[in-house]
Each structure stands twice: as C-alpha cells, then as structure tokens.
Chains A and B, each alone.
Chain A
Amino acid sequence: MYLIKSTVCRKAKDKQILHDLVVYCLTNTFLQWIFQREEIIIERLQGNSKCRIPFFIIIPLLLVTAVSAYVGPGAGFGIVTSFLVILNAVFASMLSALLWPIGLIIRFVKRRRRQCKQLAKRVIVLGLDGFSPQIAEIMMDSGQLPYLDTLRKNGTFCNLQTTCPGISPVAWSSFQTGVNPGKHDIFDFLAPDRKRYLATLSSVKTGTTTSRLGIGPFCLNRSKSFVRLLRKSRPFWTLLRKYGIRSTILRVPITYPPESLDGQLLSGMCVPDLRGTQGSYTLFSEKDSGTIYAGGIRQKLSKVNEKLWTGELPGPLKCDGECSVIPLELKISEKCITLKIGDRKISLSEGVLSAWVELTFKSGRKKIKAISRFCLTTENGCPSIYSTALHIDPFSPSLPISHPVYYSKYLAGLFGPFATLGLAEDTWALNNSAVSENTFLDQAWSIFEEREKMYFDALSRTRRGLVVCVFDTSDRIQHMFWGQGTAQDTPVYNMYLRMDELIGRTLSEMGKDDMLVVMSDHGFTSFHTCIDFNRWLLENGYLVLKNGVETVDTSFKGVDWSNTRAWSMGLAGIMLNIKGREGSGIVEPGSEAEKLLSEIADKLLLLETDEGERVINAVYPASDIYQGPYSNRAPDLVIGTKSGFRAGWGCVTGGVGSKVIYPNSRRWNGDHCHDHKLVPGTLASNMKLDSENASILDIAPTILRVLGIRPPSYMEGKVLAGNGKIQ
C-alpha cells in the first residue's frame, strides 16, 4: 500500500528518474559504441573504406548493436534497452525505404549507359576448381550428372582452354582479367627472386615499412605492415561499377588482399594463415617436438599423468620475434575427452574433427584472433592432437580478407565461423599422415558446405548483376584421391555427383533472365612420377654444384652460380642465368641465350624413363606464349610434361635431388601441372555459347558482353555470347 501511495505522490520525482534513465542509456550506449565498434569508426574516419554509406545511417545501426550488447548492473535493463533495437531496426528500414528512390536516381544519373544490349540481368559464375570435362562427359553419358547434362543439351558444354601452365593462380588470374599471364604477371604459385635465387609467393607481398617522425633529437620510428596484391591488370568486375552493376565475388583465387568494387568480395587462394604461411597445421604428440614438416609442425605433448597431457599451440610471431603461444591441456577420462585451449574447453571424439574453436593470441598489447579445428588420433597407443592451420577469424579479421571489411563479419555472423585460409583443405596433413582420409574428407566437405551457404546467400541477395563463387573442394579431392579412380563410391566419383547437385540447386534458384556459367580453371590427370628438372640440368651440365655438394634440399644452397647456366623453380619453369638479370648471371642475353634455350628444349623433349617412355610433351619458350609488359618476368621455358609426370617436390623450391625421374610416393597423386593442352577446363552454360576453341581468357569479355558492356581493348579473349557481335 505504501509503495503505491508513494509512487503516486512522487510523480515529479519520476520525471527525474526518467531523465536519469535517458542519460544513463545514452552514456551506456556511447560507451558500448566506443568499446565495441572502434574499428569501424576508425576505418570510416581514416577513409579506408570505400563504402558509400553515410554516417547518419551507420550511427543508428551502431546504436542497435550497442543496445543489443547491453552491459549493465543487471540483465533487467536489457529488456528496457532491447526496445531500442526494435526501434532502430524499424527506423533503419524506414530510412532505407525513404532513401531508396533518391539512391536510385543518383545511380541512374551517375552510371554510364550500357554500350550494347544486355543479354542477361544476372550472371552467375560457378567456379569448380579442377572439374575435369573428360570425367564429367563420361559420367553424363551414363546419366549420373543430370543437371550438367541439362546444360549440355540445352545450352553449352565444352572444353575450356586453360593458361600455360594450367595452374590455379595463373588460370584464375586470366579468368578475372581476360589477359594472358604476360599482362597480369602471375606465372606460377611461386615467383623467382632472380637476384637471390629464392622462391617468393607470386601473388602477394607482405612486409613492413618504417617511417621516422620527429623534430631534432626527438625521433620516433613507426613501422607499419602492408599486404600488396602483385597481380596486375584489372578484374572485370571492377569495370562494372561504372555501369552501376553490383557484384558478389566469393573465394576467387588471387583476390587477396581484396580490391575495391561495387559489391562484396571474399578473398580466396593465397590468403595466409596467422603464422604467415599458406597453411601449416600442428600435430601434438609425445614424440619429437618443434620439427617443421612440409605444411606443418610437430609439437610436444607432455604427459603429466595417465589422464592429463599438456602442450603449447604456437601462433603468430610477436614484435620481439618470439612466437605467441596458447597453452593446451588434454584430459582423457573414461567418460569423455576434453581439450582446454586457452580459456576454451571442447569435447573431442577420436577421429572426429571438432567445430571451429576461437583462439586469442596475445602479441604485446594486441590481441590476434584465430580459428582452428582439432582432432584426436592415436599414435602408437599414445594420444595425438591435430590442429588445423590458424585461420584468420572472419569475425575479427586481423588481415583484410573481404571488401568491405565487414563482409566477412556479416558472413560469420549469419553462418558461423568459416575457413578463411586460401588453401583451406589440409592436403599436407593427409600427405604426412597427420590425419586419416576420412578426417580429410570431413574437413573438405564441411568447407564446401560453408561456402555453399555463402553462395546461396549471395544468390538470394543479388538479383541483378554478377555473382562469382569458386569451390575448391573438387580440386583438393582430386589431388588426394585421384589414385583411387572414378569408380562408384570413390571420393572423386562422389565429388562429381555433389558438384552436379550444386549445379541443380543453382538452376532452381535462377530466373529466366539469368545466365549461368559453370567453369573450371583446368582439368585433372594423374601424377605418379616426379621429374627433378634441377637434377636433369645438373646431369646435363647446365647447373653446377659447389665442390663436395651432392644434393640440395631447398633454395639452391650449394649451387655454384658462377658456372650455372640454367635453373628451375616452380612447377614448370626453367630460367637461364642471364647476365644483368640474375644476381650472378653468366649467360649473355640475345643469341647466346636463345641458342641455349633451344638446346635445353630439344634435349628435354628427348627425356625418357628407364622403360623408354617420353616424359615431356612440349616445351614452350616464354616469348612464344606470353605477350605483355610482364612477359620478361616469366620463366624462359615452360615445360609441358606428359600425363602422370610432374616437377618433383624438391625441385619446385630450388632443391636438387639424387635422381632425375623417381616415383611420386605421396598421397597427392592427381595433378594438373602438366602440358596445359592435356588438362583443359570445363565450360558449361544455360546459354548457347560459341564453344569452338573457348579459352579461359574469353570468360571476362563474354560476361561483360552479356551484361551489355563492350569489353575493353586490352582484353584478349573473344566474346562467346551474342554470336560474338557487339552492337
């Protein structure tokens, strides 16, 4: 009774309470905003973001976040403030609806007129890395790929000429730019540092710059790290902006770091892990520790007692050069197996990959977020834990992996954490028997499912414009399971069925004005024998080792450059040791070099196995196959091996082995780094295309044409749609 009375009598006081509550809510909201959204504000203030969303839209939306993430002295206030979420959501919707006609008019006025008739409202490019037209054709003929067969019957299905060499970074770069490698400067996964004879990544350069700031004796050195995309030329989707056509680009190789475009982009192949590698897993066991394997490292799992093991998961390097680590604790009891990593605790089952686990590494005052998956196995009766590479957390990316930067956050928010590493499927772990075939397949298919969600989300949100999504699962499964053949229920067979289902689902999402392009960058064939080109060069007197050196593991350590005339690096390249170009070059450019090239090419074509089988299909001088400003950076000779033969594992990174030809003993037994004519890609479409001699260079100009845009003159491919005519 008293309470009711006093409430009635204190109306004036209530007004004050209301005022205080408003002050409180605003203060709380502001604080939340500062704490949680600082990176967005910083990005917006620095002007790094190319987004054109005005502040007056961002602020109310950020208030929504702040309110949803309410922190108060009691959860009760969450109820009060949650109403603000509703209010803001309604406000955002109304504002968007009100501004939509204005935006439409601005876009209409600003955009360029299309130069020819648009043939489709939306173009969907479904990239299936390594999808072989030969296998697809066999399976279609036996009725196992019904959806692809529909495209073959009603539209187009043909071989798609790939680049030379037919390697993903080269081919996908040509796909997106419409030019040959001489114009986009990607010739292989690796690019030789000709001055130091070292292998570097061809597509990305990461480094630090130091700037001095100060007056007189007071100086401050500021170092800033940078990531630069080395692919030259322009992806065709960046040209669409001028015409007001939006694009969603998902996981296309060689798009890291992401470039600005009208739409969204999630980077693909070449996104590194947090150790700065292209993917290095960790295997914890009681055996040796700290050993670095190809693609991974081994860490010690110390036994504390019969039920408890401890270890340390190494993360990114800190400023002082030390590795940041997260402690790990494995507890095995009769009831369950639990793994504690940092402050996270997960349950493990033997042989089963865990869900993504979020990890936070501390590097000085900075926190670096990563995601990883774990799997428990047993090694000689002792427990062993496999941890995937440390993927960049898409929700808190420490490196730019998407455009706009919050696109990865959007995807992670809606669909949960996902693989961000360029080569996400851990082929090295299977190669080194760190995981079983089943675990690898589980991993590959779960990555496929993650991407499927993003892809169909993009399809549902992009009703006009361009959607490109590349699925790598097809490539990785064929690399690792080619040896098992394509019979029913083999992993490769199942993969083709599943890709066909994906095509079917895509078709069901499409409208009558949509164009679908299903394509692959290359095909596939077997890889049973390795060829050590450096050994061959050594045995033929073109490469010379220092006295006492018999073999070289990597990076040409022990090579006598003052007497070496040719060297091999990468998956298919031979370089001459040209004076002035190479660090210790001895071959005179011009006629001497040309003579030497033709001598090496002739000899290589005669290379054969002990059984007398020729192993080289063709040798291509760079001057014959590449045109453009960067063609002088290409290997001097590109070797096209026959099916089954490929550059040996060691010689790719500058090793010199003991044999020229030796069997490939690894599980990686399917490949496409052969003569590019042997591994064409696939092109299928619901539209009738001019399929004669279709090349991967033709895709970009064709899509531009379909969207009503005249392909720029620097593009080399031909238009496959609209009878090739541009009105």
Chain B
Amino acid sequence: MVLDILLLPFRSLPSIWGLLFISLLTGIGMISIFRLTSNQEKISRLRKKMLGEIFGILLHVSSPATVMKFAGRLIWSNTLYLLYIIKPLLVIAIPFMLIWGQLDARYGTDIVDQNTSVTVTVEYEDSLPERDNITLIGNGIEIIQPLVMVDTLRQVSFRIILEDGTIGSLDVNGTSSTVGKTGTWNGALILRGFDTENSLKRLFCPWVDKGVVSGDGPISGWYSLKTVRYEVLGGHWSWLAVFLVFSSISAIAGAKIFDVKV
C-alpha cells in the first residue's frame, strides 16, 4: 500500500523510474535506521583502528611477520565490526525483506503476454490423481493440453495463455488461484504461483497467491514467467542489480551528508 502511494507519480513512466526512486529512497531510509540503531561512536573508533591496521601493513610491507600480525589484527577487528552491526542488521532485516519481496514481485518478472503461453506446475500433497480425474477450469485463461505428470514429484504441468494479458483465475481440482497482475489496489504485483498453506512467508513473498483449496486439489503451484531486464547505463540489469547499486549510491551519499559511521 505504502509502495503503491509512493509509486503513484511514476505510473505513467517506464517502470525503471519507479524502481530507481524506490532504490534511492530505500538507501536513505536504511542508512538512517543504521544510524539510529548502531553504536556510531564504537563503529567510528573501530573503523579508524582498521584503517590504522591497513596503514600498518603499508608501513611495514618489507616485514612479512609484521604484515601478518597486522593482517591478523585486521581480521579480528573485522569480526568485531560484524558483531557491532548485528543489532542494526536485525532491525533492518525485516523492513529490508519486506521491500525486497515487494520489489521482486513488482519488477522481477514480466506480466503474462497475451500471445505467449506460460507453463504452470502444480503439486499435490499425497499422490497424484488419475489423469482423467484432473479438472482444469480457467477464467480468462486458455488452458493448453497436454498434461505432464511426474508421479515421483507429485507434480502436474500444463500451459496456459492469459486471454486479456492482465488477470485470470485458474481452478485445478477445486483449488483456485489468481494468475497475472494483482495483489494491490492498482494491481502492480505480478503473481508467480500459489500456496494453500497459511504462512507468514507470504508476507515476504507477495508474488505467491493464497490458493483456495476445496477437495483434493494441489497445495501449491508456480508459473514460469519471464525475468525482466532493465536498460541502465548501456547494460541489461536485473531489478536486483538496479536496486542494490542505486540504493547503495544513495546510502553512501546519505552517509556522507548525515555523517553516518558505517
């Protein structure tokens, strides 16, 4: 919801702009949280110590024994550094994972093309029903036979085509799920599968639809969607690369501007 509001001004623009905006904003946000939750004094002191140890290596480069001593001290200081960032790490982890999931769901895969088929794989809990007992009902979806059944994995695969290219629903032996763009009021999330279990995991994986089960239908399923690549600085970047690089740039800038010791 929050992301939808933040991304509202970018709706009419190519999706990369929204991703860039969120990346820059996330960097600033994370660095602010880091500042608030970490012991800045200790980190600053340790950083200087580590730099001192590096200069120690440079100063005594002609003495391998001294270099090794400083290298050992550097590794120890690095361990301390990791200890110092555990607290901010834990605090940041949850919002970071939430954002990660949201961005992956929005920018990770392409929407289902009107003319391209998508492979759907569903999994049953105990054993596969007989081929004739598998019923497939699509709403706004064209189901393409044949069914491929893998008994050992309790999986059934088939292909579908989304008729209007945005949303449809699929019913397999009474288990129904949504296919396409949904999840929020403006339909920005692209679903990649469904799971009938009630789990908090879905909070971090918003691309998984909550499948409604009735009868002996499958308990989960996933759709093979196309990964999106973005044209940035002459290269083809995944959303993750864009996010990591640009959020880092904004975090570095934020750290510089707000004098955050990291």
List the A residue with the shortest CB-CB distance to B87.
A75
Asked if B227 is at the interface (CB within 8 A of a chain A CB), the reply is yes
Whether the Cβ atoms of A58 and B252 lie closer than 8 Å is: no
Whether the Cβ atoms of A73 and B75 lie closer than 8 Å is: no
Residues of A64-84 at the interface with B, using a CB-CB cut-off of 8 Å, are 64-65, 68-76, 78-79, 82
Asked if A404 is at the interface (CB within 8 A of a chain B CB), the reply is yes
Chain B residue contacts of A461, Cβ below 8 A? 59-60, 63, 66
Most buried by B among A72, A76, A395, A406: A72
Contact of B248 among A51, A73, A104 (CB under 8 A): A73
- Give the Cβ gap from A26 to chain B, nearest Cβ, in Å: 10
Contact A64:B27 (CB < 8 A) given known A2-B220, A17-B238, A53-B61: no
Q: Mark B228-262 against chain A: 1 for CB-CB distance below 8 A, else 0.
A: 00000000011011011101110110011001101
Asked if A31 is at the interface (CB within 8 A of a chain B CB), the reply is yes
CA distance A240 to B205 in the complex (A): 67
Whether the Cβ atoms of A31 and B52 lie closer than 8 Å is: no
Contact A93:B71 (CB < 8 A) given known A13-B227, A53-B58: yes
CA distance A278 to B47 in the complex (A): 31
Whether the Cβ atoms of A69 and B193 lie closer than 8 Å is: no
Asked if A89 is at the interface (CB within 8 A of a chain B CB), the reply is yes
Stretch of A3-11, A218-226, A552-560 lying at the B interface? A3-11
Contact A92:B57 (CB < 8 A) given known A74-B92, A412-B52: yes
Stretch of B6-14, B77-85, B140-148 lying at the A interface? B77-85
Chain B residue contacts of A163, Cβ below 8 A? none
- Give the Cβ gap from A241 to chain B, nearest Cβ, in Å: 13
Whether the Cβ atoms of A65 and B51 lie closer than 8 Å is: yes
Residues of B48-77 at the interface with A, using a CB-CB cut-off of 8 Å, are 48-64, 66-68, 71-72, 74-75, 77
CA distance A726 to B196 in the complex (A): 94
Asked if B107 is at the interface (CB within 8 A of a chain A CB), the reply is no
Whether the Cβ atoms of A413 and B64 lie closer than 8 Å is: no
List the A residue with the shortest CB-CB distance to B261.
A69
Whether the Cβ atoms of A85 and B75 lie closer than 8 Å is: yes
Chain A residue contacts of B71, Cβ below 8 A? 89-90, 92-93
Asked if A448 is at the interface (CB within 8 A of a chain B CB), the reply is no
Residues of A334-361 at the interface with B, using a CB-CB cut-off of 8 Å, are 343
List the A residue with the shortest CB-CB distance to B239.
A20
Asked if A724 is at the interface (CB within 8 A of a chain B CB), the reply is no
List the B residue with the shortest CB-CB distance to A78.
B85
Stretch of A95-103, A125-133, A533-541, A602-610 lying at the B interface? A95-103
CA distance A97 to B31 in the complex (A): 39
Whether the Cβ atoms of B92 and A65 lie closer than 8 Å is: no
Whether the Cβ atoms of A5 and B48 lie closer than 8 Å is: no
Asked if B45 is at the interface (CB within 8 A of a chain A CB), the reply is yes
- Give the Cβ gap from B27 to chain A, nearest Cβ, in Å: 5
Chain B residue contacts of A23, Cβ below 8 A? 241, 245
Chain B residue contacts of A20, Cβ below 8 A? 237-238, 240-241, 244
CA distance A107 to B63 in the complex (A): 13
List the B residue with the shortest CB-CB distance to A409.
B55
Chain B residue contacts of A85, Cβ below 8 A? 50, 74-75, 78
Asked if B208 is at the interface (CB within 8 A of a chain A CB), the reply is yes
CA distance A23 to B56 in the complex (A): 30
- Give the Cβ gap from A494 to chain B, nearest Cβ, in Å: 31
CA distance A92 to B74 in the complex (A): 11
Asked if A382 is at the interface (CB within 8 A of a chain B CB), the reply is no
Chain A residue contacts of B131, Cβ below 8 A? none
Asked if A16 is at the interface (CB within 8 A of a chain B CB), the reply is yes
Contact A1:B58 (CB < 8 A) given known A76-B92, A93-B64: no
Tally of contact residues, A, Cβ under 8 A: 65
Whether the Cβ atoms of B193 and A2 lie closer than 8 Å is: yes
Whether the Cβ atoms of A70 and B247 lie closer than 8 Å is: no
Whether the Cβ atoms of B248 and A27 lie closer than 8 Å is: yes
Whether the Cβ atoms of A17 and B240 lie closer than 8 Å is: yes
Whether the Cβ atoms of B195 and A1 lie closer than 8 Å is: yes
CA distance A70 to B61 in the complex (A): 25
Asked if B93 is at the interface (CB within 8 A of a chain A CB), the reply is yes
Chain B residue contacts of A93, Cβ below 8 A? 64, 67-68, 71
Whether the Cβ atoms of B48 and A413 lie closer than 8 Å is: yes
- Give the Cβ gap from B254 to chain A, nearest Cβ, in Å: 8
Asked if A407 is at the interface (CB within 8 A of a chain B CB), the reply is yes
CA distance A192 to B257 in the complex (A): 47
Most buried by A among B51, B62, B251: B51
Q: Mark A387-423 against chain B: 1 for CB-CB distance below 8 A, else 0.
A: 0000000010000000010110111111010000000
CA distance A395 to B93 in the complex (A): 33
Contact of B205 among A3, A79, A412 (CB under 8 A): A3
Most buried by A among B59, B61, B64, B251: B61
List the B residue with the shortest CB-CB distance to A12.
B227
Contact of A21 among B219, B244, B251 (CB under 8 A): B244
Asked if A24 is at the interface (CB within 8 A of a chain B CB), the reply is yes
Whether the Cβ atoms of A414 and B89 lie closer than 8 Å is: no
Chain B residue contacts of A68, Cβ below 8 A? 47, 50, 77-78, 81
- Give the Cβ gap from A100 to chain B, nearest Cβ, in Å: 5
Whether the Cβ atoms of A72 and B82 lie closer than 8 Å is: no
Most buried by B among A6, A65, A85: A85
CA distance A245 to B155 in the complex (A): 76
Asked if A57 is at the interface (CB within 8 A of a chain B CB), the reply is yes
Residues of B189-213 at the interface with A, using a CB-CB cut-off of 8 Å, are 192-193, 195, 197, 201, 205, 208
List the B residue with the shortest CB-CB distance to A98.
B64
Asked if B38 is at the interface (CB within 8 A of a chain A CB), the reply is yes
Chain A residue contacts of B102, Cβ below 8 A? none
Chain B residue contacts of A227, Cβ below 8 A? none
- Give the Cβ gap from B195 to chain A, nearest Cβ, in Å: 5
List the B residue with the shortest CB-CB distance to A463.
B63
Asked if A486 is at the interface (CB within 8 A of a chain B CB), the reply is no
Whether the Cβ atoms of A86 and B201 lie closer than 8 Å is: no
CA distance A74 to B248 in the complex (A): 9
Asked if A28 is at the interface (CB within 8 A of a chain B CB), the reply is yes
List the B residue with the shortest CB-CB distance to A22.
B241
Can you name 17 A-B pairs with beta carbons within 8 Å? A3-B201, A3-B205, A31-B248, A61-B57, A61-B58, A71-B251, A73-B23, A73-B31, A73-B96, A74-B34, A75-B92, A92-B57, A92-B71, A103-B61, A409-B52, A410-B59, A461-B66
Q: Which of A's residues lie within 8 Å of B, judged by CB?
A: 1-3, 5-6, 9, 13, 16-17, 20-21, 23-24, 27-28, 31-32, 35, 51, 53, 57-58, 61-62, 64-65, 68-76, 78-79, 82, 85-86, 89-90, 92-93, 96-97, 99-100, 103-104, 107, 264, 343, 395, 404, 406-407, 409-414, 416, 461
8 extra A-B contacts, CB within 8 A, seeds A2-B193, A17-B238: A21-B244, A75-B85, A82-B81, A92-B71, A93-B71, A96-B64, A100-B63, A409-B51
Q: Which of B's residues lie within 8 Å of A, judged by CB?
A: 23, 26-27, 30-31, 34, 38, 45, 47-64, 66-68, 71-72, 74-75, 77-78, 81-82, 85, 88-89, 92-93, 96, 123, 192-193, 195, 197, 201, 205, 208, 219-220, 222, 227, 237-238, 240-241, 243-245, 247-249, 251-252, 255-256, 259-260, 262
Give 5 nearest A-B pairs by CB, closest first. A413-B52, A73-B247, A20-B241, A410-B55, A96-B67
